[in-house]
Structure 1
Amino acid sequence: MTSILRLRQLEALLAVANHGSMTVAASELGISQPAVSRLLSDLAKEVGFAVYDRKDGQIVPTQEACFLLPSIRQVLELMQRIADVSHEITKRRAGHIRVACLPGFATSHLPDVVATFLKERPGVSMTIEPDRPERILEWMIGEQYDFGITDGFAGHPSLESSSVEIRTVCVFPRGHRLAGRDVVAPADLLEEKIIHSRRDSEFFGRLSSAFQDAHVALNSHIEVRQFTAACELVCRGAGVSVVSELDAVQFRERGLDFRPFLPRTPHVLSLVRPLLSRPSMITAEFMTSFLKSLNPYLECYPDTGL
């Protein structure tokens, strides 16, 4: 068999086998009876044997054709599945998204964004892989993930990136004396034990500069990698911290309170993706949704003159 069978020929044979009538088959397929007859005649020429007989006024598939019917059903079901999935993809209701992110994001802000996004798209699945920035960079360069959420990104020729500045706040246990302030500045933390991010992080560099510029010593107490870890420690009375408001809001119901920190010391998030790999429509839509979710945390700081 050197030629390629046409799907319409297979549909015609299956319809005739199901109904035993070319008239009914034609009605099901939405074509004329002669068109069905022609499709079956062409199919017989392609396969090299008769595909139907007439018996007691009905059309019945030949024994040889009966051997083909299970495979024909599988092919047609697969083609329908492809058509259905294609429709879902077009409507942004199907697909798979691979996201690499900072560990804190995997347990703080991202879950709400993902849950809302997937609730409206039941056919979409997702992989979320948290790790340190260095590892995320390796994954994105290797095109192992569609979208990365990281910080301290210095740029790479194979990656496209955009940066957003997230407002930071000073977090403290509920009932703390700092709750009486509208904003918190380094001078307000002179006697406080400070829980802060790693000393080699860009954010700690900016925070340290804010204290130096205010001529206030930063009373380092505990050094952590993640803002969520800092919030956990603050909830337990181990000190106070300056963290992204994205993380702070997750701990409100656990006895943590916070106020804007001044001078402005934003946490810079970098959203990265492979430059040469075009994102799928559903990935692009998720990236847009994620960016939109950050809007409440990009608002201006209170105007205090600092």
Structure 2
Amino acid sequence: MQLRHLEVFHAIMLTGTITAAAKLLNISQPAATRLLLRAEDQLGYKLFDRVKGRLLPTREGQVLHAESERIISGLENLRKLSRNLGAATSGHLRIAAAPALCIDLVPLAISRFRQKHPDVSFEVETRQYADLVRVVLNHEVDLGIGFDIQSHPGLDIQKLAEAQFYGIFPKSMENQLPASVKLDWFRKHPFIGLRSDDPLGAAFGAAVKLSGVDLQPIVEVKTNQIALSLVARGAGVAIVDQYTAAAHDPRLVTARPLLPNIDFAVHIMRAKHQPASVLARKFGAVMAQAEKSVSGTLVTTNRPQRT
């Protein structure tokens, strides 16, 4: 018995007539009749008897109906699931990201995404670079978001944005600062530095070395968020990624672009052996828009004043 035969059989059981069943299935009455006759021909027995203008199920039809309801119900659930997957209206996404991106950027993207798709749930964790790559490769998360992700045969890596480093300073220093701060300026003040055992710290260290400026930190930190907290407490000055800088409390900290700029990239990655779901692709697009919002706020706030 083919699926279309089963659908016609089920529709007749619901409506009691060929005409009503055809209307329910959005097909013509002759087409519904042909499908019923073919089904009975293949089975070798009648499914309905005509009684006073209605079709009543035979004993065989009654037995078959019990099983057909389960199949039709499962088919409808499958159709709903396929529609939801295509529309990305429900589901669950596991996200791992660099700590700096989880201060504001990832929360903003999730908030915006759930406004349109409230039935989508999330699981979010912060990971340093090595762990971030590992959990993506092991498919412990659906997406990883980090800085300057290096090429890997098991990863599909896409650039989310080009970003840059910013200087952050205690609020009390605001009136002393130029519109853009040169690296050499940081040597005159207690400097809080990021460790160089991940790509972001290494990229900054290489740029500083190339500039010929020797920055000796009084405190070395693992994450830029710690640097931001230290600056807010007046412990010194620091250079951090723009997403950490954008999250500063303007009552305690002020931020300035560097001169010259030191750039880095933000990447989204997934395991190559796991195809990206519609949900993941749509979230990636929302992440890109959220990134523009966060970066735009920082650029506007710290744009050099015309003289």
Q: When the two structures are superposed, what TM-score results if normalisation uses the length of structure 1?
A: 0.79
Counterpart of 2:154 in structure 1 is 158
Secondary structure of 1:27's partner? helix
Secondary structure of 2:14's partner? helix
Hey, what's the Cα distance between the residues in 2 that align with 1:251 and 1:70? 64
Secondary structure of 1:153's partner? coil
2:72 is matched with which residue: 71, 76, 88? 76
Counterpart of 1:259 in structure 2 is 256
Counterpart of 2:235 in structure 1 is 238
Hey, what's the Cα distance between the residues in 2 that align with 1:26 and 1:292? 47
Contact 1:208-1:218 within 8 A present in 2 as well: no
1:86 aligns to 2:82 (yes or no)? yes
Q: Aligned residue pairs: how many? A: 300
5+ residue gaps, structure 1: none
Q: Following superposition of structure 1 onto structure 2, how do residues 12-31 of structure 1 map, counting pairs within 5 Å?
A: 12-31=8-27
1:131 is matched with which residue: 119, 127, 130? 127
Counterpart of 1:181 in structure 2 is 178
| RMSD of aligned residue pairs (Cα, Å) | 3.5
Q: Following superposition of structure 1 onto structure 2, how do residues 259-278 of structure 1 map, counting pairs within 5 Å?
A: 259-275=256-272, 277-278=274-275
1:193 aligns to 2:190 (yes or no)? yes
Hey, what's the Cα distance between the residues in 1 that align with 2:4 and 2:212? 81
- CA separation of 1:288/1:22 partners in 2, compared to 1, >3 Å: closer, same or farther? closer
1:62 aligns to 2:58 (yes or no)? yes
Hey, what's the Cα distance between the residues in 1 that align with 2:193 and 2:120? 37
1:219-259 residue CA offsets vs partner (Å, 9 max, x unmatched): 42332222222222322333322111212222335633211
Structure 1 residue identity aligned to 2:248: F
5+ residue gaps, structure 2: none
1:103 aligns to 2:93 (yes or no)? no
Structure 2 residue identity aligned to 1:77: S
Hey, what's the Cα distance between the residues in 2 that align with 1:46 and 1:125? 47
Contact 2:89-2:117 within 8 A present in 1 as well: yes
- CA separation of 1:85/1:181 partners in 2, compared to 1, >3 Å: closer, same or farther? same
Q: When the two structures are superposed, what TM-score results if normalisation uses the length of structure 2?
A: 0.78
1:142-184 residue CA offsets vs partner (Å, 9 max, x unmatched): 4554432223533222323345541211122323346643122
Structure 2 residue identity aligned to 1:151: F
1:248-299 residue CA offsets vs partner (Å, 9 max, x unmatched): 2223356332111233223443433334554334433333433344346497
Counterpart of 1:221 in structure 2 is 218
1:40-63 residue CA offsets vs partner (Å, 9 max, x unmatched): 333334445432234455322234
- CA separation of 1:91/1:210 partners in 2, compared to 1, >3 Å: closer, same or farther? closer
Deviation, structure 1 residue 94: 5.1
Structure 2 residue identity aligned to 1:232: S
Choose 61-70 or 91-100, whichever is displaced more: 91-100
